[in-house]
Chains A and B, each alone.
Chain A
Amino acid sequence: MKSSVITFPGSNCDRDMDVALKKFGFNNKMVWHNDNELPKSDLVVLPGGFSYGDYLRCGSMASKSRIMQSVINFAKSGGLIMGICNGFQILVETGLVPGVLLRNKYLEFICKNVFVKLDNKENAYFKNLNKDVLEFHIAHNEGNYFCTKDQLKEIMDNNQIAIYYCNSEGKIEDQYNPNGSIKNIAGIFNKEKNVLGMMPHPERMIDQSLSGEDGSIFFKNLINNIK
């Protein structure tokens, strides 16, 4: 299975993602933001970081990078694209997934482990996962998911919410919402469910001795789903 990770100026989780993808069997290529064409890929990842120093709005400059036209075309042809953290911010700026990510409600940079509840398993990312609650890591300043009322209705009608912030038992309540996101939303799909944007970092949870194993569970399942 072939994957591509796009590196923007200021990306800093690109190599972590490379390590994670290779560990679970992807033949991964790093792709520079200024390239014209994506290599042939089964999965494209927009990694976390601070692309373009978060100038203007997080992800806004990266969303206009040269490679993004090819990424958008890939999404439109049904290709799997996953945006993590800053990658999620880039996805909303391209319009591939609805909404925006605002500054965290309490104006603090949050760096901690969180639990997320999967809402929808009828997609290539979560299909066949035998867990409903996963422990991932978040590290962001702008992760406060926001969308208009009309967008929210559309998102709910189309089952586009991918994951919610919750507690270890999967309870979705305000007290487990780290950043003020509408409805505890931590990740969202496009209508067709081939594009996934999420704030949590599964690639930081691939080693029991360093962090946890829920990222491993996610990636192992993902590559099996794509095969």
Chain B
Amino acid sequence: MKVSAIITLKKDVLDPQGKVIHQALDGMGFENISEVRQGKYFEIDVNENDPKKAKAVVEDMCKKLLANLVIENFKIIETQ
């Protein structure tokens, strides 16, 4: 089954890319924005039918490689 993971920067970590994107959007006329934060999205096809087990595997991946827990949080979403 497919499991997705979203990695985002923690609140107090500076995100210069997000800031620049925010400025660009602002310049394009999207003025109603208070903040933009950039993150990463992973779609992982796990050979496992039990959603609980599949999510647990991806959680382990996030902790060990996909996210750096000093600066990033992760959220796991079951997609299929």
Contact = CB atoms under 8 A, between A and B. Distances in A.
Contacts of B70: 98-100, 146-148, 151
Interface of A: 56-57, 60, 64, 93, 98-100, 102-107, 144, 146-148, 151, 180
A144 B71 CA distance: 12
A25 B66 CA distance: 40
B13 A102 contact: yes
- Sorted nearest first, the 4 A-B pairs with minimum C-beta distance are A100-B70, A107-B16, A100-B71, A100-B68
Interface string B10-24: 000110110010000
20 contacts: A56-B65, A56-B66, A60-B68, A98-B70, A99-B70, A100-B71, A102-B14, A103-B16, A104-B16, A105-B16, A107-B16, A107-B17, A107-B20, A144-B14, A146-B14, A146-B70, A147-B70, A148-B70, A151-B70, A180-B14
Contacts of B71: 100, 102, 146
Nearest to A61: B65
A146 B13 contact: yes
Given A93-B68, A98-B70, 4 more contacts: A104-B16, A105-B14, A147-B70, A148-B70
